[in-house]
């Protein structure tokens, strides 16, 4: 458990600590749900505002509202916290009409008219639409073929897997749909509000693409029924050569499909109300067709239809070019050859040369639909997968094989048009179980969506699952295997297989399936543009904004145009078997994320997760998610990877370029839980040296308009951090929070805006305190959380510390240095920060110079390495300078430092600078004297502002004159440009004696020039001497460097000399453009070990 104590000063404030003027409530709608259904005449626009007469009106109105003054204690908060009676009144008038998300309502509140109360129940609103969407083209055109290829057992497995997947998804969807009101938007709304805008946008677009390709599949099914079973002669492209019938059919489907798409899009554009009115007609066609199938099955039990199938040996023959299944037939004039003979032989004469297989095998006829009591079920239990071009043959029938097993000369065999295998059939079948979202998509039109959606959807899935499973068994029990595998009914003279089973007529199925698929296509072209419009209006994907607009009545014109173009790509594919797996991927991905949303919300146990539907569990959702993922790869692994790639690209695009949305989604809750877990893990102890990186607290100063004074400080933070680690941007406002909360919000907005401009990834923390000093101390102590706490403080050098109108800036700065030292945190002070480069600049050349005076844990070496990772500093070279004293071996120091850097894996030039001990110059004494005199004056005299400015100018003049005189009398020795010598023992002794002898006479000479120098604090003189000397050395080496990093000396232990400390630092860095003063935290931050 994280524990933290904040030390605060105890100050007795005068007056009321809670002034009444500061208690203005923040006017935020306490219950956003109240926006949906308020009485316009009584409550205005439906918002609680400060102008409400009930709150801010006259005394008479207040008396009427708060009769008896029973609620007078709460009347000042009544605009943000309404009375319970008023709240209940609004909830009683609430309507859950389809009105879009809250963001849309805010823009449309002024235009929304009072809508009629919805009245759809479970049957009309959910159950029947789900039936219409689930039962469709695959049932009529492909289910018999799937049963023939996979066998009854494997077909039951395929259907069971898909139905279990949709059932688990429906359970998860029911939990989400009953966890509060779901406006129109269906699955997209549920996923986006449960998993966030990134997942919502990605999966929403996948669902949109799936719905669009479903429209293409339904249109292709419509054209296939028309060209194959209704009017084969209407094909616009004829077979030009043998073996090109399939290609000709595809070309005709492309032509007719494009025309049909244009017609349907026109119908949708003219008016959706016509589509909705025809929905019941299309649904009636579906139900009548299914009833006809069951009636036909019952009829076969006692009166099987007479549908002969012609077999040559064990091969099935296509009955399109002949009527009689025989080689010859007897007439009054003798024996004559049949039309079938002419197809296999060179002529109609009995002695003509014939195909070898035709000559050696007999023709037989078998019943295509022997009936449910025939026992054919046993023959159809097992799979009969075939490669493309293989013969559709009947097992158990004698056949004489011939050497050349191929279809030569366009012989009328029934062949497999595609290679069949289990996983391919799963991909083709799965679209037949989609459509479970039809109820949730109509949630805005339901009387009680939270009751109707679970009941209607689950009942629809149970019903359709029973229909599919029973149809598989009945098809296998009634229809011969070779007819089941005959996809286009060629052995039945081109009739629909399932239609031949139906009663009273095959045309019931043909016409019913035609209108059913046509209606499903219209529904897809109606729903997909609205889904795209909802995504576009949410603003999560910027480049889709244009598709949020439409006609004056809100119809999505541009979205319809894009939908038609995408649908056309599916139609150009032309093959129903190729389009089905594509939309299977998109629907499976959508269902997978619905399950994920429910599992995440359940595991997080968020307080708002209270579904009315109780029959769910996270294990069911997880199982459904796993099954969806497995089915994706079972159907087609490359389509699955492609769909995931598309969704991933959309996700990353929304993450980087999309609008910021806060929908209370589960991914945010998951992130909070993960963050909590990680924080508890890192709480156990400090990070290892190998994991140490600067976690920076950036202290910003604000001007009177709450704008940041030094924006380049954030630029430098971005360059130093490169998005890694923790960054806290802090600032302090002086005053009380009750008085300054508005300014604090404005300042925080300005800081966040600047962080976005400078691409600083981190957190903003603003503190309102009675004094700047206390506020900065609070931030240093309490910023961060648990183990994610800053270890480094970055602030700008107070340029105005010498100004008389800002007497406390230097005091705050020195105390902040002490606070960081006490907290064992590193300190970085950027001087002349406004000269630092921006993020857009590129330093093409130059050096980053590190002056390593004292060891600070290695932070001085680590900072340039981190800076050079950023493109601003990448081309700069790193140089490290260290200082050798009189008794140091400079050559050995350089070798040791080079070895140390080699082990640290840091590339840098190394130079050791020897500082020769010499006498303290007159300039140093004069500088110290001026410093102490000013310090005394500012402490002892209470000066007015004008006098302070005059005094500051006088001190500046004296300082300039003393600098010139001191430089003329005793100039400081020049710093050597390179290492000139190595100290030996003899040279060391001689130098010390020389300095001792000259020092005595030198002091006497200096004190005779100015006797007051003898009364100076010798500690200050020595410190000033060090500052002047080091400054001269640094200027000589690094005056042209792009950045200079220096060890920052600590403040004096005696607080009486704080202002002198500022002067020392000023002298130390004088003449340098960009300086970063570095003070370590007292721990090692860099290591040579792996």
Euclidean distance between CA atoms 712 and 782, whole angstroms: 25
Residue-wise pLDDT tens digits, 752-787:
999 888 888 888 989 999 888 888 898 988 888 877
The C-alpha torsion from 172 through 174 and 178 to 184, rounded to 10°, is 110
Q: What count of other Cβ atoms lies within 10 Å of the Cβ of residue 685?
A: 7
Structural tokens at position 15: 């007056």
Q: Is the pLDDT of residue 292 over 90?
A: yes
Q: Is 85 exposed, middle or buried (0-12, 13-18, 19+ CB in 10 A)?
A: exposed
Q: Is the pLDDT of residue 1043 over 50?
A: yes
Could you tell me what percent of the chain has a pLDDT over 90?
Answer: 23
Q: Rounded mean pLDDT of 233-245?
A: 71
Q: Is the pLDDT of residue 71 over 50?
A: no
Count of positions (residues) in the chain: 1090
Q: Is the pLDDT of residue 955 over 50?
A: yes
Q: Rounded mean pLDDT of 532-543?
A: 83
Residue-wise pLDDT tens digits, 1048-1085:
888 877 776 666 778 778 888 888 888 999 888 777 77
DSSP character string of 1028-1053 = HHHHHHHHHHHTT-SEEEEEPPPPPS
Region of residue 1086 (phi > 0: left; psi between -120 and 50: alpha; otherwise: beta)? beta
Q: Is the pLDDT of residue 80 over 90?
A: no
Euclidean distance between CA atoms 805 and 782, whole angstroms: 31
Q: Is the pLDDT of residue 24 over 70?
A: no
1026 phi and psi angles, rounded to 5 deg: -60, -45
**pLDDT at 130 (0 to 100):** 86
How much of the chain is helix, strand and coil, in % rounded to 5?
55, 10, 35
Residue-wise pLDDT tens digits, 883-915:
877 677 778 888 888 888 887 778 888 888 877
Out of 254-258, 550-554, 698-702, 1055-1059, give the one with best mean pLDDT. Answer: 254-258
Out of 132-146, 336-350, 1006-1020, give the one with best mean pLDDT. Answer: 132-146
Q: pLDDT band for position 199 (50/70/90)?
A: confident
**pLDDT at 814 (0 to 100):** 86
1060 HSE (CA, 13 A, CB side): 25
**pLDDT at 690 (0 to 100):** 63
**pLDDT at 3 (0 to 100):** 54
Residue-wise pLDDT tens digits, 915-947:
766 545 555 555 555 555 556 554 554 344 445
**pLDDT at 856 (0 to 100):** 73
Q: Is 362 exposed, middle or buried (0-12, 13-18, 19+ CB in 10 A)?
A: middle
Say how far residue 985 (Cα) sits from the centre of its chain. 69
Q: Is the pLDDT of residue 81 over 90?
A: no
Higher pLDDT, 948 or 820: 820
**pLDDT at 813 (0 to 100):** 85
Give the 3-state secondary structure of residue 826: strand
Whether 972 and 921 have beta carbons less than 8 Å apart is answered as yes
Give the 3-state secondary structure of residue 768: strand
Residue 847 pairs in a beta bridge with: 877
Structural tokens at position 276: 């909705």
**pLDDT at 508 (0 to 100):** 92
Lowest mean pLDDT among 21-30, 352-361, 440-449, 596-605: 21-30
What residues have CB less than 8 Å from 1, skipping those under 6 apart?
Answer: none
The C-alpha torsion from 957 through 962 and 963 to 965, rounded to 10°, is 130
Q: Is the pLDDT of residue 149 over 90?
A: yes
Structural tokens at position 422: 């289990």
From first CA to last CA, the distance across the chain in angstroms is 31
Give the 3-state secondary structure of residue 873: coil
**pLDDT at 695 (0 to 100):** 86
Sign of the CA dihedral with 106 first, then 112, 115, and 118 last: negative
Out of 357-371, 463-477, 656-670, 991-1005, give the one with best mean pLDDT. Answer: 463-477
Sign of the CA dihedral with 406 first, then 411, 417, and 421 last: negative
Q: Is the pLDDT of residue 1020 over 80?
A: no
Q: Is the pLDDT of residue 479 over 90?
A: yes
b (16+ CB within 10 A) / e for 592-601: bbbbbbbbbb
* Residue entry with tokens 């005056």: 1039
Lowest mean pLDDT among 379-383, 526-530, 953-957: 953-957
Continuous segment of H or E residues that includes residue 882: strand 877-884
**pLDDT at 975 (0 to 100):** 38
Q: pLDDT band for position 511 (50/70/90)?
A: very high
Whether 860 and 850 have beta carbons less than 8 Å apart is answered as yes
- List alpha helices for 66-184, DSSP H: 84-92, 102-108, 122, 128-134, 137-141, 143-177
| 3-state SS track over 683-743 | CCCCCCHHHCCCCEEEEECECCCCCECCCHHHHHHHHHHCCCCCEEEEEEEECCHHHHHHH
Euclidean distance between CA atoms 714 and 728, whole angstroms: 11
Structural tokens at position 516: 């059913």
Give the 3-state secondary structure of residue 907: coil
Question: What pTM does this model have?
Answer: 0.67
Q: pLDDT band for position 73 (50/70/90)?
A: very low
Residue-wise pLDDT tens digits, 620-646:
999 999 999 999 999 888 889 988 898
**pLDDT at 114 (0 to 100):** 41
Q: In whole numbers, what is the pLDDT of the chain averaged over residues?
A: 77
**pLDDT at 405 (0 to 100):** 54
Whether 368 and 480 have beta carbons less than 8 Å apart is answered as yes
Q: What count of other Cβ atoms lies within 10 Å of the Cβ of residue 632?
A: 26
Lowest mean pLDDT among 239-243, 484-488, 884-888, 1081-1085: 239-243
Euclidean distance between CA atoms 851 and 915, whole angstroms: 13
Q: Rounded mean pLDDT of 426-444?
A: 83
Q: What count of other Cβ atoms lies within 10 Å of the Cβ of residue 407?
A: 14
**pLDDT at 58 (0 to 100):** 45
Lowest mean pLDDT among 183-187, 295-299, 562-566: 183-187
Euclidean distance between CA atoms 990 and 518, whole angstroms: 109
**pLDDT at 82 (0 to 100):** 59
Sign of the CA dihedral with 1062 first, then 793, 828, and 717 last: negative
Q: Is the pLDDT of residue 236 over 90?
A: no
Structural tokens at position 951: 């005094």
Whether 566 and 209 have beta carbons less than 8 Å apart is answered as yes
Continuous segment of H or E residues that includes residue 912: strand 909-914
Euclidean distance between CA atoms 150 and 154, whole angstroms: 5
Q: pLDDT band for position 104 (50/70/90)?
A: very low
Closest of 352, 353, 322, 354 to residue 338, by C-alpha: 322
Q: Rounded mean pLDDT of 733-749?
A: 89
**pLDDT at 1016 (0 to 100):** 52
Q: Is the pLDDT of residue 17 over 60?
A: no
Q: Is the pLDDT of residue 77 over 60?
A: no
Closest of 439, 422, 420 to residue 166, by C-alpha: 439
Higher pLDDT, 1003 or 349: 349
Closest of 826, 757, 759 to residue 789, by C-alpha: 826
Residue-wise pLDDT tens digits, 513-533:
998 899 888 888 888 888 888
Q: Is the pLDDT of residue 650 over 90?
A: no
Q: Is the pLDDT of residue 226 over 80?
A: yes
């Amino acid at each position: 458990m994280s524990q933290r104590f904040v030390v605060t000063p105890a100050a007795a404030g005068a007056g009321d600590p809670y002034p009444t003027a500061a208690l203005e409530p923040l006017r935020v709608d306490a219950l956003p749900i109240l926006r949906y259904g308020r009485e316009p005449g009584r409550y205005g626009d439906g918002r609680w505002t400060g102008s409400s007469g009930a709150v801010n009106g006259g005394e008479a109105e207040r008396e009427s509202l708060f009769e008896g003054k029973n609620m007078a204690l709460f009347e000042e908060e009544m605009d943000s916290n309404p009375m319970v009676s008023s709240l209940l009144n609004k909830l009683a008038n609430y309507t859950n009409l389809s009105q879009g998300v809250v963001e849309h309502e805010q823009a449309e509140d002024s235009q929304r008219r009072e809508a009629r109360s919805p009245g759809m129940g479970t049957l009309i609103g959910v159950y029947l639409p789900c039936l219409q969407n689930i039962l469709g083209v695959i049932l009529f055109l492909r289910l018999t073929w799937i049963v023939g290829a996979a066998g009854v057992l494997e077909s039951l497995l395929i259907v069971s897997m898909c139905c279990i997947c949709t059932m688990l998804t429906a359970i998860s969807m029911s939990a989400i749909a009953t966890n509060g009101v779901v406006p129109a938007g269906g699955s997209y709304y549920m996923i986006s509000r449960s998993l966030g805008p990134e997942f919502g946008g990605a999966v929403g677009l996948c669902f949109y693409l799936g719905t669009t390709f479903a429209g293409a599949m339904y249109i292709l099914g419509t054209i296939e029924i028309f060209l194959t079973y209704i009017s084969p002669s209407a094909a616009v492209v004829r077979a030009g050569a043998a073996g090109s019938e399939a290609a000709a059919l595809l070309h005709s489907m492309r032509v007719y499909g494009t025309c049909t798409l244009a017609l349907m899009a026109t119908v949708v554009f003219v008016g959706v109300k016509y589509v909705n009115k025809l929905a019941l007609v299309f649904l009636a066609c579906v139900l009548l067709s299914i009833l006809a199938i069951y009636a036909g099955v019952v009829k076969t039990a006692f009166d099987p239809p007479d549908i002969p199938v012609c077999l040559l040996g064990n091969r099935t023959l296509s009955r399109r070019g002949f009527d009689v299944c025989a080689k010859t037939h007897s007439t009054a004039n003798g024996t004559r050859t049949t039309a079938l003979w002419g197809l296999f032989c060179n002529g109609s004469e009995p002695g003509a040369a014939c195909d070898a297989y035709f000559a050696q095998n007999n023709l037989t006829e078998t019943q295509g639909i022997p009936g449910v009591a025939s026992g054919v079920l046993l023959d159809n239990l097992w799979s009969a997968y075939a490669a493309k071009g293989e013969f559709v043959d009947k097992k158990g029938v004698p056949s004489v094989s011939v050497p050349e097993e191929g279809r030569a000369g366009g012989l009328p065999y029934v062949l497999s048009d595609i290679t069949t295998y289990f996983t391919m059939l799963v991909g083709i079948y799965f679209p037949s179980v989609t459509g479970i979202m039809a109820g949730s998509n109509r949630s805005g039109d339901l009387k009680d969506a939270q009751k109707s959606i679970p009941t209607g959807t689950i009942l629809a899935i149970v019903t359709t699952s029973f229909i599919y499973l029973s149809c598989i068994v009945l098809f296998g029990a009634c229809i011969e295997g070779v007819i089941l595998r005959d996809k286009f009914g060629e052995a039945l003279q081109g009739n629909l297989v399932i239609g031949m089973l139906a009663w009273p007529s095959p045309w019931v199925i043909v016409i019913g399936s035609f209108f059913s698929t046509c209606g499903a296509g219209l529904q897809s072209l109606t729903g997909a543009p609205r889904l795209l419009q909802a995504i576009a209006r949410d603003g999560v994907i910027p480049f889709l904004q244009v598709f949020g607009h439409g006609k004056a009545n809100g119809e999505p014109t541009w979205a319809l145009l894009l939908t038609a173009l995408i649908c056309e790509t599916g139609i150009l594919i032309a093959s129903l078997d190729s389009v089905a797996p594509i939309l299977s991927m998109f629907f499976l991905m959508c269902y997978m994320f619905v399950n994920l949303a429910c599992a995440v919300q359940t595991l997080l146990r968020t307080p708002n997760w209270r579904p009315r539907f109780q029959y769910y569990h996270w294990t069911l959702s997880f199982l459904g998610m796993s099954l969806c993922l497995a089915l994706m790869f079972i159907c087609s692994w490359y389509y699955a990877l492609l769909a995931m790639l598309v969704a991933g690209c959309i996700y990353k695009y929304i993450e980087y370029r999309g609008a910021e949305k806060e929908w209370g989604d589960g991914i945010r809750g998951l992130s909070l839980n993960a963050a909590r877990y990680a924080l508890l893990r890192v709480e156990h102890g400090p990070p290892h040296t190998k994991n140490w990186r600067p976690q920076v607290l950036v202290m910003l100063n604000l001007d009177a308009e709450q704008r940041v004074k030094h924006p380049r400080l954030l630029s430098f933070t971005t360059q130093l951090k490169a998005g890694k680690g923790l960054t806290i941007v802090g600032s302090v406002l002086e005053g009380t929070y009750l008085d300054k909360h508005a300014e604090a919000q404005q300042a925080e907005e300005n800081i966040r805006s600047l962080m976005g401009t400078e691409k600083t990834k981190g957190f903003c923390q603003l503190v309102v305190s009675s004094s700047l000093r206390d506020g900065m101390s609070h931030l240093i102590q309490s910023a961060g959380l648990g183990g994610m706490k800053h270890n480094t403080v970055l602030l700008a050098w107070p340029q105005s510390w010498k100004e008389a109108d800002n007497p406390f800036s230097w005091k705050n700065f020195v105390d902040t240095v002490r606070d960081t030292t006490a907290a064992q945190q590193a300190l970085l002070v950027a001087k002349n920060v406004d000269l630092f480069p921006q993020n857009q600049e590129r330093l093409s050349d130059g050096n980053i110079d590190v002056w390593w005076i004292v060891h600070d844990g290695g932070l001085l070496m680590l900072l340039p390495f981190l800076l050079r990772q950023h493109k601003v500093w990448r081309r700069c070279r790193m140089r490290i300078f260290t200082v050798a004293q009189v008794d140091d071996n400079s050559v050995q120091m350089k070798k040791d430092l080079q070895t140390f850097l080699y082990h640290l894996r840091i590339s840098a030039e190394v130079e050791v600078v020897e500082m020769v001990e010499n006498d303290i110059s007159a300039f140093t004494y004069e500088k110290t004297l001026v410093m102490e005199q000013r310090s005394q004056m500012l402490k002892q005299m209470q000066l007015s502002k004008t006098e302070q400015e005059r005094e500051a100018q006088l001190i500046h003049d004296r300082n300039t004159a003393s600098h010139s005189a001191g430089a003329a009398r005793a100039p400081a020795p020049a710093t050597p440009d390179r290492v000139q010598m190595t100290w030996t023992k003899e040279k060391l002794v001689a130098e010390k004696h020389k300095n001792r002898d000259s020092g005595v006479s030198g002091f006497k000479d200096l004190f005779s020039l100015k006797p007051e120098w003898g009364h100076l604090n010798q500690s200050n003189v020595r410190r000033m001497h060090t500052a002047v000397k080091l400054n001269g050395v640094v200027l000589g080496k690094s005056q042209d460097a792009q950045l200079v990093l220096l060890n920052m000396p600590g403040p004096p232990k005696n607080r009486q000399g704080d202002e002198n400390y500022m002067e020392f630092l000023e002298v130390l860095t004088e003449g340098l453009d960009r300086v970063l003063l570095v003070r370590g935290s007292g721990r090692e931050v860099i290591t040579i070990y792996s």
